[in-house]
Amino acid sequence: MPFPPQLIDGYRAFLVSRLRHEQDRYRRLAESGQRPQIMVIGCCDSRVSPEVIFDAGPGELFVVRNVANIVPPYAPDGQAHGVSAALEFGVGALKVKHIVVLGHAQCGGVKAYVEEHEPLSPGDFIGNWMKLMAPAMAMVGPSDGVSRAGYLTRLEQANIVNSLDNLMTFPRLAKLIERGDVAVHGAYFGVATGGLSVREERSGEFVPVAAEEHARLFAEPRF
């Protein structure tokens, strides 16, 4: 198969729009290296791009994405750990100041975990990965009396909290967080609505941000 034509078309659009306006910035980044202040751990879902949601330019975000935006607990066992390696680089080399775990509605990984789908391959990589969500499910408890959609939302948000808890199992990162050198945050994106909620540290609740702007957008007449 040839290289996807839509990617070539997208690159052409990038050349005449973004690259034209930000060429100097790309040159500076190439010469001096990246120094993003924010790391985002998001889901690999194609509908939830952190760069798009936060309107970020080149060099502004250090992003790692995986199925269901999971941060595994610290496990120095000599095996390969992609998220842990990204955390090590982001914290140790880039010196990021903020780590955001970005979850979202209609997460396929969370839904698959709840519904216990059949493995997609003999290795069942997704199933084994999603077992890391077990503490989040225990946090939410049984779904009795809760609608299916409501239960999935609660579990998606609990999964964010579980990842935030797992960040604290990394000794070096935990020390930086306790000293106030690094801050961790949870955020939740509504795919259908485009709404963004951020977790309040004290209450543990996910609270909408830019709510007035979001409400005005949906109040405007559509043609």
Give the pLDDT score at 124.
87
Give the pLDDT score at 222.
64
Q: In 3D, which of 199, 184, 169 has the Cα closest to residue 84? A: 169
pLDDT digits (tens, 9 = 90+) for 42-90: 999 999 999 999 999 999 999 999 999 999 999 999 999 999 999 999 9
Give the pLDDT score at 219.
78
Q: Is the pTM of this model over 0.85?
A: yes
CB atoms within 10 A of CB 173: 21
Give the pLDDT score at 36.
97
The full set of domains in the chain, from first to last, is 1-33 (no CATH), 35-219 (3.40.1050.10)
Q: In 3D, which of 66, 149, 58 has the Cα closest to residue 102? A: 66
Give the pLDDT score at 116.
78
Distances (CA, A) of 122 to 51, 67, 126, 130, 132: 34, 18, 11, 15, 19
CA 205, CA 5: separation in Å to the nearest integer?
44
Residues of the chain with pLDDT under 70: 220-223
* Average per-residue pLDDT for the chain: 94
Contact 189, 210 (CB under 8 A): no
Q: Encoding tokens for residue 110?
A: 């969370």
Contact 156, 110 (CB under 8 A): yes
Give the pLDDT score at 223.
59
